[in-house]
């Protein structure tokens, strides 16, 4: 998937036809009370982001968010504003080439009807149309279960950017709950069979292992909204890849900025491009983004090589009854030398824009 191109006029037409306005809430925007089978992973062999005449250098982008009861405001914000704004910013600022966007709705592995829902990868207004067909408003959850979409990305997506050019896509998860890694969160064999329909009879797969599987072909980031306290638990697990967005109206600016930083733009230049009203939010969001840190840190995972991506020509279910997966490597960094106070210190550099905005 991934033909066509996104136009602001198409969004305005769609929004007006659905009666979506600034006061619309989640129950008004997402009218479906039933799980749509075409977005249920049990019935999806592979989601594809393919190069085409319209998108010769496609970049897959997965935007996954919590849709449990307490997070209705987030689903509504993404549908009303953030998804449209994000796609328009991607075309305006070009942090990546030919964006193909997939939306994913996350609840909990224990949810019998809707643990995960995934749209197609789309380059045009169809991604919004599909988003509006998802079911939201499930019961509460204990953690932000990012592992659900990480597993799907690793095992059930085929992306030309990686398969043809060795370039990773982007995967953003958004929520307000804590990370469950410290409490042993994992995907159980029975959950894998129930959620994805996969033929799997092995042991449980830890959060670190699932991350490592998806990180083979995606740059992964977690965005915490509303509850800043939850960001700490995520930062412990994914140092350098967690952002806290204090105002969800600027979610798209944070997402765009993270992609720009990942592709080599300096934080100061990234922050300086935004208008004053969003600059402080973006500054706080990207403050701790640091791709030099290896993740996940402090979580033991097996070292066997992960299986190669399954060919999209195979229409059968993916069999993942294979050896454990490889975790991200940890770079052996030399210890920092203590400051030698007997020697003159190097003159302080001029404060960066991010330091000025944060008052450091």
Could you tell me the residue ranges of all domains in the chain?
8-335
Average pLDDT taken over every residue of the chain: 83
- Identity of the highest mean pLDDT range in 32-36, 201-205, 256-260, 347-351: 256-260
pLDDT mean over 32-44: 92
Q: Are residues 151 and 306 in contact, defined by beta-carbon separation less than 8 angstroms?
A: no
Q: Which helix (H) or strand (E) holds 21?
A: none
Q: Is residue 322 pLDDT above 60, yes or no?
A: no
- What's the distance, CA 97 to chain centroid? 18
Q: How far apart are CA 74 and CA 68, in angstroms?
A: 10
pLDDT, position 105: 94
Architecture of domain 8-335: 3-Layer(aba) Sandwich (3.40)
Model pLDDT for residues 118-172, shown as the tens digit of each residue? 999 999 999 999 999 998 876 556 667 899 999 999 999 999 999 999 999 999 9
Neighbours of 263 (CB within 10 A): 14
What is d(CA 30, CA 306) in angstroms, rounded to the nearest whole number? 37
Please tell me the predicted confidence (pLDDT) of residue 251.
95
pLDDT the model gives residue 1? 56
* pLDDT more than 90, % of the chain: 61
Predicted local distance difference test score (pLDDT) of residue 110? 85
Peptide bond just before 296 cis, omega within 30 deg? yes
> Which has the higher per-residue pLDDT, 226 or 202?
202
CB atoms within 10 A of CB 121: 27
Query: Where residue 294 falls among pLDDT bands split at 50, 70, 90?
Result: confident
Instruction: Locate all alpha helices (DSSP H) within the chain, ordered by sequence.
Output: 8-18, 26-29, 72-77, 83-93, 126-131, 147-156, 160-165, 189-196, 207-215, 228-237, 251-262, 267-272, 276-286, 353-358
- The percentage of residues in the chain with a pLDDT greater than 70, rounded to a whole number, is 79
């Amino acid at each position: 998937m991934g033909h066509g191109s996104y136009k602001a006029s198409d969004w305005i037409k769609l929004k007006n036809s659905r009666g979506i306005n600034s006061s619309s809430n989640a129950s008004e925007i997402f009218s479906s009370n039933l799980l749509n089978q075409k977005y249920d992973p049990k019935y999806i062999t592979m989601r594809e982001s393919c190069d085409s005449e319209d998108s010769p250098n496609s970049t897959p982008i997965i935007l996954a968010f919590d849709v449990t009861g307490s997070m209705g405001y987030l689903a509504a914000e993404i549908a009303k504003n953030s998804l449209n704004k994000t796609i328009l910013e991607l075309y305006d600022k070009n942090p990546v080439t030919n964006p193909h966007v997939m939306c994913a709705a996350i609840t909990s592995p224990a949810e019998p009807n809707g643990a995960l829902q995934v749209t197609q990868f789309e380059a045009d207004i169809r991604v919004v149309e599909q988003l509006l067909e998802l079911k939201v408003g499930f019961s509460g959850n204990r953690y932000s279960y990012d592992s659900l979409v990480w597993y799907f990305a690793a095992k059930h997506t085929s992306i030309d950017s990686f398969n043809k050019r060795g370039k990773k896509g982007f995967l953003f998860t958004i929520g307000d709950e804590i990370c469950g890694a410290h409490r042993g969160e994992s995907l159980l064999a029975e959950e894998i069979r129930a959620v994805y329909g996969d033929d799997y009879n092995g042991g449980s797969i830890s959060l670190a292992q699932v991350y490592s599987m998806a990180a083979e072909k995606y740059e992964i980031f977690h965005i915490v909204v509303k509850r800043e306290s939850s960001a700490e638990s995520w930062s412990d697990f994914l140092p350098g890849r967690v952002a806290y967005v204090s105002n969800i109206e600027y979610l798209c600016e944070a997402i765009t900025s993270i992609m720009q930083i990942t592709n080599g733009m300096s934080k100061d230049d990234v922050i300086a491009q935004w208008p004053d009203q969003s600059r402080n939010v973006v500054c706080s969001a990207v403050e701790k983004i640091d791709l030099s840190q290896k993740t996940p840190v402090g979580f033991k995972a097996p070292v066997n090589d992960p299986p190669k991506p399954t060919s999209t020509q195979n229409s059968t279910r993916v069999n993942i009854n294979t050896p454990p997966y490889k975790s991200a490597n940890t770079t052996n960094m030399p210890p920092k030398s203590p400051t030698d106070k007997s020697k003159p210190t190097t003159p302080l550099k001029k404060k960066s824009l991010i330091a000025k905005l944060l008052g450091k």
